Amino acid sequence: NAGVTQTPKFRVLKTGQSMTLLCAQDMNHEYMYWYRQDPGMGLRLIHYSVGEGTTAKGEVPDGYNVSRLKKQNFLLGLESAAPSQTSVYFCASSYWTSGGAGEQFFGPGTRLTVL
């Protein structure tokens, strides 16, 4: 049981390049999330998904797109990277409860630098 995994762990991009971050979970969780973490700002939600084939915007969605074609995978895309997107990106997943989503479990993070 690997939990939540993220690929890649590190990446350096040049301004204008594109890339996709992959998140995978093997816990059969319904909900998945993408966050970014910047110094002094905690974690901010970029996009999230409440089930396969669904996505929704979080607090800071601009410049990012997501897809959830399979229940176990959640992809985060940067179409044209900007230096402001330099950050550490975390993926998380949580299970369904009758009252909504349960505990969130995090992946190890992806450190992205945009030059």
* Closest CB 114 distance from another protein, rounded Å: 19
How far is 114 from 18, CA to CA, in rounded Å? 10
Q: How many CA atoms lie within 13 A of 107 on its CB side?
A: 30
Residue of 19, 22, 52, 58 that binds another protein (CB under 8 A): 58
Task: Give the phi and the psi of residue 25 in degrees, each rounded to 5.
Answer: -135, 145
Question: Is residue 10 involved in binding another protein (CB under 8 A)?
Answer: no
Residues in the site for another protein, rule: CB under 8 A?
31, 33, 35, 40-45, 48, 50, 56, 58-59, 88, 90, 92, 94, 99-106, 108-109
